[in-house]
């Protein structure tokens, strides 16, 4: 492990996932964005695995498709729907789900993830998650919708049965300007 992996919640989430995802696994990028997490997951699952990647914005689909083509990736299904629709596309057990909440950095900032649909997606994902499977959720709350989402999600995570799940919160307590929070859920 490199210390620089701990400086950004996205890298910390990837660090948790690297040791858990194997070639042939099925995984989900619940918030496709620019496709970086999708590409990362596709490399972990290899040619025998599959990544389901969700986003409601066409710009996310197009930029991710281009990124995947440039990297000769063919083990990904891009889905232009919200992550709350995970159950419509996946019925088999999955090894991991990544959520990178908020809005698309170079996109329309009025289009943002919402607590209600995120909680629905997490609930459906927890049912599909295999034993020792991991869900990572990065919460960005430096905007109004993100603040609402953070409050509702943290309350929700506290209700998860400790006999079924480990839930860990990682945040940067000495950083200014609402640094992202990483939540990691491991199914027992």
| Sequential DSSP letters for 74-136 | -SEEEE-S-GGGHHHH--S-EEEEEEE-SB-TTS-TT-B--HHHHHHHHHHHHHHEEEEEEEE
Number of residues written out for the chain: 188
Which pLDDT does position 4 carry in this prediction?
67
Q: What tokens were used for 58?
A: 């066409």
Q: pLDDT, tens digit, for every residue of 67-106? A: 999 999 999 999 999 999 999 999 999 999 999 999 887 7
Q: What residues make up the domain containing 114?
A: 3-187
Q: Which residue(s) pair with 53 in the sheet?
A: 29, 78
Higher pLDDT, 83 or 108: 83
What's the pLDDT band for 8 if we cut at 50, 70, 90? confident
CATH number at 8 reads 3.40.50.150
CA distance 18 to 32: 18
pLDDT reading at 38 higher than 80: yes
Which pLDDT does position 149 carry in this prediction?
96
98: which residues sit within 8 A by CB, 6+ positions away? Answer: 13, 17, 27, 28, 29, 30, 31, 37, 41, 135, 136
Which pLDDT does position 109 carry in this prediction?
81
Q: pLDDT, tens digit, for every residue of 45-60? A: 999 999 999 999 999 9
Which pLDDT does position 176 carry in this prediction?
81
What's the pLDDT band for 1 if we cut at 50, 70, 90? low
Q: pLDDT, tens digit, for every residue of 135-183? A: 999 999 988 899 999 999 999 999 999 999 999 999 988 888 889 999 9
Which pLDDT does position 5 carry in this prediction?
64
Q: Whose CA is closest to 94, among 122, 120, 133?
A: 133
CA distance 112 to 117: 11
Which pLDDT does position 31 carry in this prediction?
97
CA distance 61 to 183: 25
Count the domains in the chain: 1
CA distance 12 to 170: 9
Q: pLDDT, tens digit, for every residue of 21-34? A: 999 999 999 999 99
Q: Whose CA is closest to 185, among 130, 138, 135, 137?
A: 135
């Amino acid at each position: 492990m490199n210390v620089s992996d701990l400086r950004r919640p996205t890298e910390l989430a990837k660090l948790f996932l690297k040791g858990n995802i194997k070639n042939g696994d099925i995984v989900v990028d619940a918030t496709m964005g620019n496709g970086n997490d999708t590409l990362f997951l596709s490399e972990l699952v290899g040619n025998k695995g599959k990544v389901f990647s969700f986003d409601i914005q066409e710009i996310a689909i197009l930029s991710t498709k281009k990124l995947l083509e440039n990297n000769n990736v063919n083990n990904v299904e891009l889905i232009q729907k919200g992550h709350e629709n995970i159950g419509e596309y996946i019925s088999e057990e999955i090894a991991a789900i990544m959520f990178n909440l908020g809005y698309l950095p170079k996109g329309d900032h009025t289009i943002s993830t919402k607590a209600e649909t995120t909680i629905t997606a997490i609930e459906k994902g927890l049912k599909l998650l295999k034993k020792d499977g991991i869900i990572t959720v990065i919460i960005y709350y430096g905007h109004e919708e993100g603040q609402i989402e953070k409050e509702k999600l943290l309350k929700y995570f506290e209700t998860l049965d400790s006999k079924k799940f480990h839930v860990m919160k990682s945040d940067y307590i000495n950083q200014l300007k609402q640094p992202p929070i990483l939540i990691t859920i491991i199914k027992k």
